[in-house]
């Protein structure tokens, strides 16, 4: 049988982020629903046409979304939290967006990271009042649209029932089996309608199966798929996994499905060894994830061909597909826009469109069984030129020792209290303030050479002064300069540090309409010149209140970049840490004496296998400590982390030894408080009192309740009051209103604590 090529998903934002702009026009009521739907359809069909023209054998349908594919599934199955059910919505579309963004009266659903990537998904909420039903078969609609409009016999994509439920919240462990059984019935209805409509293969994503799953839990997987295939016996299901090697390989290959997709890029060689040990069923398709779907480096076709031949030797008469290791939503669309990258660097890169070309090269090579292809040779030649231009460095050049600050937290805390004289429950923000249209346009003009350095710098200074004045009026206790000179918290440092390159159009979706351009780490990272001092020192000169210097930490810079793969991660993290140490020295010399080193990505980088956690946390925590170990005892080190399940890394967070940590927690605050009931945290801490990802303005009373709930567990002498993340994506009106309420809430809580009537 001829080899087919397949991808699990495609970038959904469009060539020039037209998807993002359309969403934001709709949210601002600048276009109506009919226009929105028509133009979204145009984008969706254009993306399908691109894949068709590129020669993808099995084109995914249903991977396109208006916000998030997990939210799509929750909405499809009527998982609408009760707080939204009595609100008037003009359409189901507006209800869908309300789940993600909140309303005046209802908080948005929680958002967290998709496994160990920088993509965020909306966490489904399961309530006892849930009425299970299929509201709308979106996979069917998308499949039929591709078929009728473009003649594409697509491969519908659904997130699988076991992974979907594992990603959800709101139920107890003992309820898992019951809810999984309910979901299987709903999935059966969706899949039956797809099969009846003519879908030849249906991709069921089960990435949760790469976690360390117990035998007992895997029995639930087996029971679920036995029931599902009994309900839809004619459906051809492709069980798709990615991001790691699967657990229980020998059992997974016996599941009653038509095919299984495995990641051969991030599996550390385990899948080939499993095939050698356990074989693979002849009656199933094996979809080989052999092209990296998460990073942007060109594939070494010769090396990948050796892997393919090794598999073919074991499975000579099996049906095999060639595909990417995961969905391509994690990489930019096309390298064709990158006209400013050095040729020597560009020769080593492949974005989504180029990765499809690589799949085709491998497929054609299998057919011709020759190494004389001109395209093959050209591809390999450019890759070798890239490797020659950027040689690996001797790891010993960057020492890896256990870093430690010179004084304990209790000693530092006493000195810092004396120095800063902050009130009980001090108020601050996380770092960024709204990036308005005039600022974004000025930055673009400056990059294009259409605006002078002097005019650009003056606009940045004007913005800083405005927001210092706003913070004075709000009466916050610790200020920030607002980060107006920064396009993104990682890309900004990628532009300033040696060893990084930045792209023109290398956008990827982070959450909702928020897109980022991860910088590329292609060589050794090194400090060049001060990066943040000018703006921070200027802000500090405008006020007597302390202004925090704002840095992105080494682990986050690494995890939110397209990192080089020829060196171990800990070596690159240490390179970044040593560079940031020099920046901190420059800030201290400029009398900036509160410095925030953000590590929102530390938890997301945790390996998916439990057995790999300790090694990762050891080097990740040490990289942070390398960054801050030389800070003066009177300089207060802050850090910020995005919410995730902290219970398994709380000791590592403590070991980071920051003086103050702020944690993004507002939409799941009660869950985090339970962690601190069991684990002592004895340093400064701020649990975000409101969700910045939603335009909703929380009330003073809501924030007072959150503060009081926190203080039932955490000491008031160490507690800070802050939003849960930066305010870059909010408007000035939203920001001022929310912070006004936050300061009022802090004062009320402060008065309650100091009142003689309160014990």
The stretch 617-630 carries a mean pLDDT of 96
Q: Distances from the Cα of 115 to the Cαs of 112, 118, 602, in angstroms? A: 9, 9, 13
- Local confidence band at 153 (pLDDT 50, 70, 90 cut-offs): very high
* 458 located within any domain: no
* 140 located within any domain: yes
Same domain as 429, residue 350: no
Phi and psi (nearest 5°) for 258? -85, -20
Give the chain's end-to-end CA distance (angstroms, integer). Answer: 78
Same domain as 509, residue 596: yes
The chain-wide mean pLDDT, for the chain, equals 93
Is 693 catalytic? The answer is yes
Residue 667: the pLDDT is 56
DSSP state of 110: P
* 445 located within any domain: no
Percent of the chain predicted with pLDDT > 70: 96
Higher pLDDT, 371 or 81: 81
- Known binding-site residue numbers for Zn(2+): 640, 642, 664, 725
The stretch 167-176 carries a mean pLDDT of 96
Same domain as 482, residue 356: no
- The answer, yes or no, to whether residue 223 has pLDDT greater than 80, is yes
Residues 6+ apart with CB under 8 A from 113: 119, 120, 121, 603, 604, 642, 644
Same domain as 152, residue 218: yes
- The answer, yes or no, to whether residue 310 has pLDDT greater than 70, is yes
3-class secondary-structure state, position 690:
coil
- Known binding-site residue numbers for L-methionine: 430-432, 483, 598
Q: The tokens of 275 are what?
A: 């095939």
CA gyration radius, the chain: 26
- Known binding-site residue numbers: 17-20, 113, 118, 430-432, 483, 514-515, 560, 598, 604, 640, 642, 664, 725
The stretch 223-249 carries a mean pLDDT of 98
- The answer, yes or no, to whether residue 6 has pLDDT greater than 80, is yes
Q: Are strands 514-516 and 548-552 parallel, antiparallel or unpaired?
A: unpaired
CATH number of the domain within which 381 lies: 3.20.20.210
The stretch 401-430 carries a mean pLDDT of 94
Q: Which residue, 237, 229, 282, is CA-closest to 258? A: 237
* 603 located within any domain: yes
Residue 403: the pLDDT is 87
- What residues pair up with 155 in beta bridges, in sequence order? 60
- What residues pair up with 291 in beta bridges, in sequence order? 324
- Local confidence band at 603 (pLDDT 50, 70, 90 cut-offs): confident
Tell me the DSSP string of 737-755. Answer: HHHHHHHHHHHHHHHHHH-
Q: Are strands 202-205 and 155-159 parallel, antiparallel or unpaired?
A: parallel
- The answer, yes or no, to whether residue 3 has pLDDT greater than 90, is no
**519/619 Cα distance (integer angstroms):** 22
- The answer, yes or no, to whether residue 373 has pLDDT greater than 90, is no
- The answer, yes or no, to whether residue 758 has pLDDT greater than 60, is no
Question: Edge to edge, what strands does the sheet with 719-720 contain?
Answer: 548-552, 594-598, 636-641, 660-663, 684-687, 719-720
Same domain as 374, residue 511: no
Other Cβ atoms closer than 10 A to 664 = 26
- The answer, yes or no, to whether residue 759 has pLDDT greater than 50, is no
Where a domain ends, among 324, 357, 389?
Answer: 389
pLDDT tens track for 355-372? 999 999 999 988 775 655
- The answer, yes or no, to whether residue 71 has pLDDT greater than 90, is yes
- Local confidence band at 661 (pLDDT 50, 70, 90 cut-offs): very high
**Cα 276 from chain centroid (whole Å):** 34
The stretch 412-422 carries a mean pLDDT of 96
Same domain as 409, residue 335: no
Q: How many residues does the chain have?
A: 759
* 468 located within any domain: no
* 459 located within any domain: no
Where a domain ends, among 389, 404, 422?
Answer: 389
**745/738 Cα distance (integer angstroms):** 10
Residue 304: the pLDDT is 97
Same domain as 405, residue 356: no
Phi and psi (nearest 5°) for 624? -65, -45
Exactly one of 384, 570, 693, 708 is catalytic; name it.
693
**126/105 Cα distance (integer angstroms):** 20
Q: The tokens of 292 are what?
A: 């990296």
- The answer, yes or no, to whether residue 465 has pLDDT greater than 90, is yes
User: What's the number of domains the chain is made of?
Assistant: 2
- The answer, yes or no, to whether residue 560 has pLDDT greater than 70, is yes
Residues 6+ apart with CB under 8 A from 237: 191, 201, 202, 204, 228, 229, 257, 258, 259
Same domain as 167, residue 232: yes
The stretch 527-553 carries a mean pLDDT of 97
pTM of the predicted protein model: 0.92
The stretch 183-211 carries a mean pLDDT of 98
Q: The tokens of 581 are what?
A: 């140490």
Residue 377: the pLDDT is 93
The stretch 677-694 carries a mean pLDDT of 85
Residue 643: the pLDDT is 58
Same domain as 421, residue 363: no
* 452 located within any domain: no
Specify whether the CB–CB gap between 656 and 629 falls below 8 A.
no
Phi and psi (nearest 5°) for 67? -150, -60
Helices 301-314 and 352-368, interaxial angle, to 10°? 50
Residue 668: the pLDDT is 56
Where a domain ends, among 389, 409, 425?
Answer: 389
- What residues pair up with 514 in beta bridges, in sequence order? 511
The stretch 16-34 carries a mean pLDDT of 96
Residue 259: the pLDDT is 98
Q: Which residue, 177, 185, 257, is CA-closest to 218? A: 177
Torsion angle of C-alpha atoms 247, 251, 254, 256, degrees rounded to 10: -70
The stretch 36-53 carries a mean pLDDT of 98
* 319 located within any domain: yes
The stretch 268-278 carries a mean pLDDT of 97
Same domain as 510, residue 376: no
- The answer, yes or no, to whether residue 476 has pLDDT greater than 50, is yes
3-class secondary-structure state, position 465:
helix
Same domain as 728, residue 585: yes
- Known binding-site residue numbers for 5-methyltetrahydropteroyltri-L-glutamate: 17-20, 113, 118, 514-515, 560, 604
Same domain as 363, residue 406: no
Domain span at 130 = 4-389
């Amino acid at each position: 049988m001829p080899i087919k090529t397949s991808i699990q998903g495609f970038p959904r934002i469009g060539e020039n982020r037209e998807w993002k702009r359309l969403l934001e026009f709709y949210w601002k009521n600048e276009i109506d629903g009919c226009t929105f739907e028509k133009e979204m359809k145009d984008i969706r069909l254009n993306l399908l046409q691109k894949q068709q023209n590129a020669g993808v054998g099995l084109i995914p349908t249903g991977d396109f979304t208006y916000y998030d594919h997990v939210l799509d599934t929750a909405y499809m199955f009527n998982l609408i939290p009760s707080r939204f059910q009595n609100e008037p919505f003009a359409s189901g579309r507006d209800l869908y967006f309300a789940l993600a963004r909140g309303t005046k009266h209802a908080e948005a659903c929680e958002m967290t990271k998709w496994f160990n990537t920088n993509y965020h998904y909306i966490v489904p909420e399961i309530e006892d009042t849930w009425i299970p039903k299929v509201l709308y078969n979106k996979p069917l609609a998308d499949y039929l649209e591709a078929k009728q409009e473009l003649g594409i016999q697509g491969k519908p994509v659904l997130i699988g029932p076991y992974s979907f439920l594992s990603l959800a919240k709101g139920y107890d462990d003992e309820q898992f089996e019951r809810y999984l059984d309910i979901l299987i019935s709903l999935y059966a209805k969706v899949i039956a309608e797809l099969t009846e409509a003519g879908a030849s293969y249906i991709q069921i994503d089960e990435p949760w199966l790469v976690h360390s799953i117990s035998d007992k839990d895997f029995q639930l997987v087996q029971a679920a798929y036995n029931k599902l295939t009994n309900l839809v016996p004619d459906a051809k299901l492709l069980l798709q996994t990615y991001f790691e090697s699967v657990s229980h390989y020998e059992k997974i290959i016996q599941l009653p499905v038509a095919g299984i997709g495995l990641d051969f890029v991030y599996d550390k060689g385990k899948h080939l060894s499993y095939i050698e040990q356990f074989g693979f069923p002849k009656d199933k398709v094996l979809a080989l994830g052999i092209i990296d779907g998460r990073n942007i480096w060109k594939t070494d076709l010769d090396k990948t061909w050796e892997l393919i031949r090794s598999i073919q030797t074991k499975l000579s008469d099996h049906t095999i597909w060639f595909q990417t290791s995961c969905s391509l939503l994690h990489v930019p669309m096309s390298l064709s826009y990158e006209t400013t990258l050095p040729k020597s660097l560009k020769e080593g890169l492949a974005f989504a469109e180029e990765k499809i070309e690589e799949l085709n090269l491998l497929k054609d090579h299998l057919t011709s069984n020759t190494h004389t292809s001109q395209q093959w040779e050209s591809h390999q030649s450019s890759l070798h030129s890239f490797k020659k231009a950027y040689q690996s460095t001797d790891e010993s050049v960057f020492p890896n020792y256990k870093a430690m600050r010179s004084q304990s937290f209790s000693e530092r805390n006493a000195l810092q209290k004396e120095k800063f004289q902050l009130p009980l429950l001090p108020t601050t923000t996380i770092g960024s303030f709204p990036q308005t249209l005039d600022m974004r346009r000025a930055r673009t003009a400056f990059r294009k050479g259409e605006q002078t350095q002097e005019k650009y710098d003056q606009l940045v200074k004007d913005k800083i002064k405005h927001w210092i004045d706003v913070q004075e009026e709000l009466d916050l206790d610790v200020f920030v300069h607002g980060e107006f000179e920064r396009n993104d918290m990682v890309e900004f440092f990628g532009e300033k540090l040696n060893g990084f390159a930045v792209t023109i159009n290398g956008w990827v979706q982070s959450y909702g309409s928020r897109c980022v351009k991860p910088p590329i780490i292609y060589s050794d990272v090194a400090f060049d010149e001060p990066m943040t001092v000018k703006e921070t020192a200027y802000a500090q000169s405008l006020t007597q209140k302390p202004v925090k210097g704002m840095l992105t930490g080494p682990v986050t810079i690494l995890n939110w970049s397209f990192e080089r793969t020829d060196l171990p991660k800990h070596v690159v993290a240490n390179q970044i840490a040593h560079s940031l140490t020099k920046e901190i020295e420059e800030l201290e010399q400029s009398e900036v004496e509160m410095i925030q080193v953000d590590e929102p990505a530390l938890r997301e980088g945790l390996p998916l296998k439990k057995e790999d956690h300790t090694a990762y946390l050891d080097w990740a925590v040490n990289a942070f400590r390398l960054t801050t170990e030389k800070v003066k005892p009177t300089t207060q080190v802050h850090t910020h982390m995005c919410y995730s399940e902290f219970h398994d890394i709380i000791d590592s967070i403590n070991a980071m030894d920051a003086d103050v940590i702020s944690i993004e927690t507002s939409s799941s605050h009660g869950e985090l408080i339970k962690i601190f009931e069991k684990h002592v945290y004895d340093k400064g801490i701020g649990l975000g009192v409101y969700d910045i990802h939603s335009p909703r303005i929380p009330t003073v009373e809501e924030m007072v309740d959150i503060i009081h709930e926190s203080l039932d567990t955490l000491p008031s002498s160490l507690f800070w009051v802050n939003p849960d993340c930066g305010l870059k994506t909010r408007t000035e009106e939203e920001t001022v209103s929310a912070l006004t309420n936050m300061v009022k809430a802090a004062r009320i809580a402060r008065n309650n604590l100091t009142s003689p009537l309160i014990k």
